[in-house]
Structure 1
Amino acid sequence: MKPELDLTHAHWQSGSRGKGDVQIAFVEGFIAMRNGRHPEVPALVFTPSEWRAFVLGARQGEFDLT
């Protein structure tokens, strides 16, 4: 079960290219992800194992649309 995290003071990080569309923050042992262009929209929260699976899937092209 994931807790309701207070993301008010989270340190949001953008991708390596700094475009700011997707931002992540590490908070209380969880990983939060939000749309940097619309930070008022609720963030997605992942456990470390969920985040690992997401990152590995992205690296392997699991989410490629082409």
Structure 2
Amino acid sequence: MLLMSSPAFALIHDDGEDPGPGLSIGQTLGLYVGIPVLLFLVIAGLVTASDKSRKKAKG
């Protein structure tokens, strides 16, 4: 019973603000999976393009 009264289980924060609606499954996947994968691909593409241009200049 003591655990149920902890702030982690409160529906309303101590300052009175409502936390608002949760994210849908699509929004959660887009935020936590889609954006990191997209950033990884952009960075990997930039590194690959940089490496290819350096090899052409040497050869």
What is the TM-score normalised by the length of structure 1?
Answer: 0.24
Structure with greater helix share of residues: 2
| Rg comparison, structure with higher value | 2
Structure with greater strand share of residues: 1
What is the TM-score normalised by the length of structure 2?
Answer: 0.26
